[in-house]
A and B are shown apart, each in its own frame.
Chain A
Amino acid sequence: MLGKLMSLDLKSYRAQLKLVTPIYFLLIASAFVLKSLRIPLLGDFAHGLGFLATLLLIPAALAMGLIHYYRHFYTNQGYLTHTLPVTPQARYHAKLYSGFILFAVATVYALIGGFVLLLANGVADPIGSLYVRETLYDIANWPKVLSMHPVVGWLLLFLTWLLIYLYAYAAYSVSISVGMGKRLSRFALGGPVLAYIGYYVVNQVVGLAAFLFVPLSLRISLVSNQLVFRFVTTMPYEQLKTLSVFEDSHTVEDAITQVGGYFDFGFGLVIFLLLMMVASYFITNYQLKRINLR
């Protein structure tokens, strides 16, 4: 049944993608052509527009997921969604996975678009292919800038990408479901807004406290010009209260030297965010079991 629900969600996304995809790639193609032809003002404008559209792709995919979640569960379409013979958990998971597929598609689009925009810059640049090769080399070797092993760097980037989606889904699903629940639904769309404000405040206050005062930190220190990561049972607040003036530094190494040779990143924040996601899962599922359609 999960597959059928996902297929229902994906049909709805496909209808939207049919509109967004040609517009986006038309923008990118125009940027490529106009920039390559070195048309002074128009080329830069089209390139800038293409860049902006690429930056907005992932937030737009998340917004599409959010709107779809709301429409499928809490507008007229909810009368179909909630009377299908499936469990509330299946409905929740179908939205989670289908939204992730949309998020992944947006990422692929952004990568393709970014590459085309880079190529356009390369064609427009007098040293052309060298510029493209160097930029691609820099991108591929970004972990070295942070003195990290490439595999670790790329794995961290992938995990961050995954967490961005999971965290966004947890935030909007719990805000909408609590906001459209029995207590807050009388405020119509204000319900999810109020629920999100509550979620945001809890995140900021408890998240900051977890970051500063939980005695578990990821200590990033500099040993023989290499960044070394290890867990220590120290509160980051212990280090922060000893700091006086922090000056601008150009490299990570400089910054770490300035703060005494190591930097403690409060791992309590990561644990808190993971706990928030788990809590959101249970709260949202509870709300979906006790649906109240307007």
Chain B
Amino acid sequence: MVNVTNLTRRYHTRRGIENINLVLNEGEIIGLLGPNGCGKTTLIKLIMGLLQPDEGEIRIGAFHPNEAYSMVSYLPEQTYLGVWMTMDEAFSIFSSFYQDFNRQKAEQMLADFRLELKQPLKTMSKGMQEKAHLTLVMSRDVPFYILDEPMSGIDPASRESILEGILRNYNPGSTLLISTHLVSDVEMLFDRVIFMDEGTIRLDRQVEELRSEEGKSVDGYFRQFFGSLKGESYVR
């Protein structure tokens, strides 16, 4: 589904990512995990064509990222709708640009999240806005979903409903890449986890294999792994 080859992106003042090689297969739910600033968002932006690599190549199916937007549904870390917009207007925009957008599903999801169709975004809390954006992203029927930190800055109660929203609306057979540093909240979703640190991939394993071989949950192993890397216990 996605092939990343020798991917490098450097910034002037901070580390980007260095020589990443990655294959994301169809039907997998992958957790892209790592502490803040480890390069997860840079990697996702490169996959989305929103950043240009210094070296290396990305292919989504047979396409360059800029040609694959109809195949990918992406939830960025930031909210991106105009604050003057209502969800009704956002649905109209998505319906007009994406043939795969399922308005019925979106309205159901919005009702599940207890959000109003006519409510402007500027009157919504951060958690509500996150749910509104997730509704748009998960209401598309595509082979590849990317969710970048879908739970950051969200209270625990809302995290649960967001997780439910993802689970209920995720299209089996599609590839789902979720980046997060809040591992315990989402680890039950993952088939495979990728640990990133300082711009490189430190670990890429199947979750079942990791649990049986290490005898730990993903969250437990994540804490131990990054604790040993930093020479201290990893604290969220």
Contacts and interface: CB of A to CB of B under 8 A. Distances in A.
A77 to B, nearest CB: 5
Interface in A1-47: 1, 4, 7-8, 11-12, 15
Given A4-B97, A186-B12, A80 B51 contact: no
A27 to B, nearest CB: 24
Interface centre among A12, A83, A85, A289, by most chain B C-beta atoms within 10 angstroms, is A83
A93 interface: no
A293 B50 contact: yes
Given A4-B97, A15-B84, A76-B79, A83 B50 contact: yes
B112 interface: no
Contact of A186 (B13, B49, B84): B13
25 contacts: A1-B97, A7-B96, A8-B93, A11-B82, A12-B84, A15-B84, A76-B76, A76-B78, A79-B74, A79-B78, A79-B80, A80-B80, A80-B81, A82-B50, A83-B48, A83-B49, A83-B69, A84-B69, A85-B97, A186-B12, A290-B52, A292-B50, A292-B51, A293-B45, A293-B50
Interface residues on B, range: 20 to 34
Interface in B68-114: 69-70, 72, 74, 76, 78-82, 84, 89, 93, 96-98
A290 to B, nearest CB: 5
Contacts of A77: 80-82
Contact of B76 (A4, A15, A79): A79
Contacts of B45: 293
B74 A4 contact: no
Contacts, number: 59
Contacts of A7: 96
Main secondary structure of the interface of B (DSSP, over half): loop
Contacts of A82: 49-50
B74 A83 contact: yes
Contacts of A290: 52
Interface of A: 1, 4, 7-8, 11-12, 15, 76-80, 82-86, 88, 182, 186, 289-293
Contacts of B97: 1, 4, 84-86
B52 A292 contact: yes
B66 interface: yes
B7 to A, nearest CB: 15
Given A8-B93, A293-B45, 17 more contacts: A4-B96, A11-B82, A11-B89, A77-B80, A77-B81, A79-B50, A79-B76, A82-B50, A83-B49, A83-B74, A84-B97, A85-B98, A86-B97, A182-B52, A291-B49, A292-B51, A293-B50
